[in-house]
Amino acid sequence: MSSWLPIHCRECYSRTIWHRTYRINRTLLWMALAMTFLFSLHSLLRHLKPDYAHITSVSRYRIHFQWPLGNQTNVDLTNATTFPSHPGTAPASTEGLSEYELGSNGTRRANAVLLMLVRNSELEGALRSVTQLEDRFNHLFGYPWVFLNEVPFTDEFKEKMSAAIAGPVSFGLIPKEDWYQPGWIDEEKAAASRAQMEANNVVYGGSVSYRNMCRFNSGFFYRHPLAQRYKWYWRVEPGVSFHCDTDYDPFLFMEEHDKVYGFTISLQEWPPTVPTLWDAVKEYIAANPQHVAPNNSMAFLSDDGGNSYNMCHFWSNFEIANMEFWRGEVYSKFFEHLESKGGFYYERWGDAPVHSIGAALFARKDQIHFFDDIGYQHPPFMHCPRLHSVRQERNCSCTQYQSFDNNMYSCLRKWEQVVRS
C-alpha cells in the first residue's frame, strides 16, 4: 500500500484549476482580467445598493451557548480514543436527543460535530485550522471535535490537539473495509486506467490512496462510529483559514431553516476525472425517478436539462451539512449505485461532485445554503463575504478582491441564477 499523498482531496481540484488557468492562452488571460475587472466594478456598484435581507435573517439566530455539565455518556466507539480535555464536560450523545440538546439554561445546541480527516504528518496544519475555528466560532459554542485517520493517531497528535481544544475531542480509526480498494474491483482494469490518467497528466491520476479518500468521503465518513451519533457536521481540513467571526450557530440556522447542505465555494470539476459519472447518475435517475426532489437544482449541474454535466460542484473541503441526508435511503442507494460502477477506482470520482450531485438532485434547492458570511480559505482559493458591512461586523481579515467568487471558474453565479429562478 503506497502511503497517502501529502495532499487532501480538495487540493487536487485546486491544483487542477490552477493548472488549467495557466495553460489557457494569453488572449484568454486578458479576457479573464477584463472580466475580473468588470466583476469588481459590479461588486463595487452593488455596495451602493446592499441587500440586507440575508444578514437580518441570520442575526436572529445569535445564541451564546454554555456547555452543559454532566457525565460522559459513551457509545461503543470501536478502537477510538476519547480525550475529554475538560473533565466534567460531556460530548453529545444520541440518547434521548432527537434534534437538539438543551444547555443548562435551556439554550439550544444542535446535535453537531466538527469533523476532520487528517494524517499524523499533518498535525501542524490541522492545529492551525482548529485554532482558527475555535477562535472565530467554537469558543462560543463548545461543539465537540472528531478526528479520523486510517492509521492510529500518535500520542503526540492526540496530546497537542487535545491541548488546543477546550471542549471534547475524539480520535477515531477508520475501519479497513471503509478505506481500502474493495476486492471486487478489477485491479488490472483499475491499474490500466491509473496509468492512462498519469500519462494524461491528470492530477493524482496514478494514486490509489487518493481514490480511497474520495470514496471514504463520498460514502463512509458519516457511518463511522464516532460520527454516527451526530446529525450535523462541519467538515474541516488541515491548512485552511477562517477569516471572519461567526457568533451565531450555523447548525441551528440549518436546522431552523430546513437546510441539508451548506457551502462557501463552488467551482468546476476537471472532466477527465469523471468521464462516466453523469451516465451513472442518469441511469440512477431513470431507475428511481421518485427519488429526485421537486424544486431541485438540476440547473446548477446541467445546462441542457440533465443531458450532460457542466462540471459545477460545491467545494466539499468545507461543508456544513446534515449526515441524516447522506445516511437516508435515497443517498445511500445512490452511493451504492455509484459504488457498483467502480468509478471511484476505474476513474477518479471525487467526493465533491458526488456530494454536490446528491444534494442538488435529492434535496430542494432551498435546502442548500450558501454561507456567504463565513470567510473561508483553502489554498489557493478563498471566499470572503461580499458585503462590506458583513466583513466589518464580523471582523473579517479578507477582502472581496481575493474572493474566488469573481473567478471565471466559479459556479456561484450559476448557483444564484438557479436560486432566483
For ligand NAG, the binding residues (CB under 6 A) are: 64, 66, 69-71, 78-79, 105, 107, 173, 175, 245, 247, 294-295, 364, 393-395
288-291 own/partner pairs: CB under 8 Å, 24+ apart: 288/330, 288/333, 291/330, 291/333, 291/334, 291/361, 291/362
Only one residue has cell 430546513, namely: 258
Cβ proximity to ligand NAG: between 113 and 148 the closer is 148
Cβ proximity to ligand NAG: between 267 and 396 the closer is 396
CA distance 3 to 57: 46
Catalytic one of 319, 324, 347, 393: 319
CB of 367 to ligand NAG, least distance (A): 9
CB of 336 to ligand NAG, least distance (A): 21
319 noted as active-site residue: yes
CB of 65 to ligand NAG, least distance (A): 7
Cβ proximity to ligand NAG: between 56 and 71 the closer is 71
CB of 225 to ligand NAG, least distance (A): 8
Contacts of 154 (CB under 8 A, 6+ apart): 120
E strands, 123-216, where? 145-149, 168-173
Contact predicate 361/293, CB 8 Å: yes
Which residue is closest to ligand NAG by CB?
Answer: 245
Cβ proximity to ligand NAG: between 15 and 223 the closer is 223
Edge-to-edge strands of the sheet including 112-117?
A: 81-84, 168-173, 145-149, 112-117, 232-235, 319-322, 261-263, 368-370
164: left (phi over 0), alpha (psi -120 to 50) or beta: alpha
DSSP class of 95: T
**Termini Cα distance of the chain:** 48
> 308: which 3 cell numbers?
450532460
Helix residue ranges per DSSP H, 182-328: 187-199, 208-219, 225-228, 250-256, 277-287, 298-301, 323-327
Contact predicate 313/353, CB 8 Å: yes
Cβ proximity to ligand NAG: between 71 and 98 the closer is 71
CB of 171 to ligand NAG, least distance (A): 13
Closest CA to 86 of 73, 69, 98, 102: 69
Cβ proximity to ligand NAG: between 70 and 380 the closer is 70
CB of 344 to ligand NAG, least distance (A): 21
The catalytic residues are: 319
